[in-house]
Chain A
């Protein structure tokens, strides 16, 4: 019985982590699909989201409003980032654009040090956080929030891409930018939209995880890289597969941490990345011919 409850406990924390990684990974896949850029600043959106929410709460803004304001601000930062850095350099090689996102990511991290310092900050839970006991395993309501919000957002995203005009336009840019342009869809606008949406979702992810693990200026890097691994497991271009990859990583991490060593969990995760690149670079869930988005 004790083993079962421990397993259940690890599963809860794995699913929570996975939900957060999934949100960031989807944003990453969207940007990659529309622009071909690996956006290394993706995790920083989550970091900014968390810290901005905390600042608003410290100003006595209600939590729900703080999170919404934070999402809007980070989405705007994403938009500025796209216009000033990506758009200005859009004629450069993809290599250059990727390095630009690295520059932006460390600039945002440094900015966060100047604004918030290096101390861990905390955000209150979204609701009363009385633990719930299930078979002796403890489930916090914030964990439910994390998984729940993540699932709702991911469903909205699927709907957006498959059933709305703008979403379909984004997809069209991926399949054939030239034809998309002929249809009156402007790929440059779509690039802006992709970054804004990804930034907003990233901010939400950061705000959801902050009550669980706290927020620091450097939290974005690990979140971003884990999301990368999730996306690679999903084959980089396939959002549902990236989500599955994200949950897989979350669960593996939680179990490694719980059963073996917390120090080595990153080693396990990234060894998995290298292993997948080695044996199945098209992604774990890829069918014979991969289709983007």
Chain B
């Protein structure tokens, strides 16, 4: 037996992700519009947050309503450490991630001891605390006026300034994050997490420490959000607390549900659809209702979220996969059917 037999259970092939990212990275050949790249870069930031969050929601069965806070902790750590103290941006990203991880532990340890949905409540409250602190600690964060002049990132002497350079940067990070998360899911850790969903009592009986796994996923997802926030800060060079309000956490959750909870690729799809819809709504609704102001678009996202959960609770990507596999089945149907029937006759002695 070798790694080939492992591939019978887990598709660890690099081909799919490589092709996807090759296509994505070729987009600059087709267009050079800064608007397109700024949109795609935003999708990248959101996707990075959602890769962690979708795993937390889908595999650990937990709802977090506070990921905007980790996104913000990353952003403000980078802003303050590089802008105020002149630290190396890469070091600041790491420090931000460590702070987020520690904060996630502090919030997570008490809540994961409890059964049920306390994480949703705890993270919601925690998100508001963090948001308020961003606003109130104005001597450090700049308060409601925001934090100006965050320096750009550079790597091996190359300075990331343009939209297109951040587009490359964030999508390479997303690529690595996807591989990292997929590796986790296709391992002992992933089985431990899935076993909780399969049968909590049996997971316990084979020695899976449920609380520890939920906590680890929560911390990991906080780190992903924090890193995304750090890159965001360097990209936009100006941040304010409003970027990290409770609604942002809810939008992350909406992206996860659109793409399909527990579906890593779904986080890209969810983020992309959210950003596109948001742009369209902000562009076209004011043409129809000229007097509308504020964040009116939440009404659409709210309804979308409810409809998705009622009619397509697994999200778009699994739905899409179902349709694709129906078409794919036909050519190879013979061999699969044979093996299934062979198994059935051999195993079913009832």
A, B in one complex: yes
Chain A residues at the B interface, C-beta cutoff of 8 Å? 38, 85, 88-89, 92-96, 98-100, 102-111, 113-114, 117-118, 217, 221, 225, 228-229, 232, 261, 263-264, 266-267, 269-271, 273-274, 277-278, 281
Contact present for A106 and B133 (CB under 8 Å) = no
Given contacts A92-B313, A99-B309, 11 further A-B contacts (CB under 8 A): A38-B121, A100-B306, A103-B254, A107-B302, A109-B298, A110-B299, A110-B300, A117-B294, A267-B132, A267-B133, A274-B107
Write the chain B residue with the least CB distance to A228. Answer: B121
The answer to whether B296 touches A85 (Cβ under 8 A) is no
Q: Which residues of B contact A109 (CB under 8 A)?
A: 298-299, 302
Nearest CB in chain B to that of A221: its residue: B246
Report the 4 A-B pairs with minimum CB-CB distance, sorted nearest first.
A110-B299, A107-B302, A103-B305, A270-B125
**Please, how many angstroms separate the alpha-carbon atoms of A113 and B254 in the complex?**
20
A277-B114 CB under 8 A given contacts A118-B293, A263-B135, A271-B129: yes
Looking across the interface, which residue of chain A has its beta carbon closest to that of B113?
Answer: A281
Report how many A-B pairs have Cβ atoms within 8 Å.
Answer: 140
Using an 8 Å CB-CB cutoff, how does the interface string of B72-109 with A read, 1 for contact, 0 for none? 00000000000000000000000000000000000100
Known contacts being A100-B306, A108-B302, is A114 close to B120, with CB within 8 Å? no
| Measured CA separation A273–B124 after assembly (Å) | 10
Q: State the main secondary structure of chain B at its contact with A.
A: helix
Q: How far is the CA of A210 from the CA of B110 in the complex (A)?
A: 36
Is there an interface contact between A277 and B111, defined as CB atoms closer than 8 Å? yes
Contacts of A100 in B (CB 8 A): 305-306, 309-310
Across the interface, B247 reaches (CB within 8 A) one of A106, A107, A271, namely A106
Cα distance, A103 to B251, chains bound together (Å):
10
Q: Are A110 and B298 in touch, CB under 8 angstroms?
A: yes
Q: Which residue on chain A has the smallest CB distance to residue B256?
A: A99
B306 and A104 contacting across the interface, CB-CB below 8 Å = yes
Q: State whether the Cβ of B22 lies closer than 8 Å to any Cβ in chain A.
A: no
Q: Is the CB of A107 within 8 A of B298?
A: yes
Question: By the criterion CB–CB under 8 Å, are B309 and A114 in contact?
Answer: no
CA distance A98 to B118 in the complex (A): 12
The 9 listed contacts between A and B (C-beta, < 8 Å) are A38-B120, A85-B310, A88-B310, A94-B117, A95-B117, A106-B302, A113-B295, A114-B299, A277-B121
A104-B302 in contact given A94-B117, A264-B132 (Cβ < 8 Å): yes
Q: Does B257 contact A (CB under 8 A)?
A: yes
A278 nearest CB neighbor, chain B only: B110
- Given A109-B302, A110-B302, A274-B122, are A103 and B132 neighbors across the interface (CB < 8 Å)? no
- Determine if B297 is an interface residue (Cβ-Cβ < 8 Å): yes
Contact A106 B299 (CB under 8 A): yes
Residues of A close to B247: CB separation below 8 A: 106
A270 touches B294 (CB 8 A): no
Instruction: Determine the chain A residues whose CB is within 8 A of the CB of B294 once the complex forms.
Output: 113, 117-118, 217
Whether A96 lies near B250 (C-beta < 8 A) is no
In the bound complex, what is the Cα–Cα distance between A103 and B307 (angstroms)?
Answer: 9
Instruction: Flag if A277 contacts B129 (CB, 8 Å).
Output: no
Contacts of A228 in B (CB 8 A): 121, 124-125
Contacting pair A107 B110 (CB below 8 A): no
User: A-facing mask of B16-53, CB < 8 A → 1, else 0?
Assistant: 00000000000000000000000000000000000000
**Inter-chain contacts of B309 with A (CB < 8 A):** 89, 92, 96, 99-100, 103
A111 pairs with B299, CB closer than 8 A = yes
Separation of A173 and B313 alpha carbons in the complex (Å): 27
**B303–A281 touching, CB < 8 Å:** no
Report whether A110 and B293 are in contact in the complex, using a CB–CB cutoff of 8 Å: no
A270 x B299 contact (CB < 8 A)? no
> Measured between alpha carbons, how far is A96 from B294 in the docked complex, in Å?
28
Residues of A within 8 A of B133 (CB): 267
Least CB separation from B110: chain A residue:
A278
Q: Convert B303-317 into 0s and 1s, putting 1 for each residue whose CB lies closer than 8 angstroms to a CB of A.
A: 111100110010000
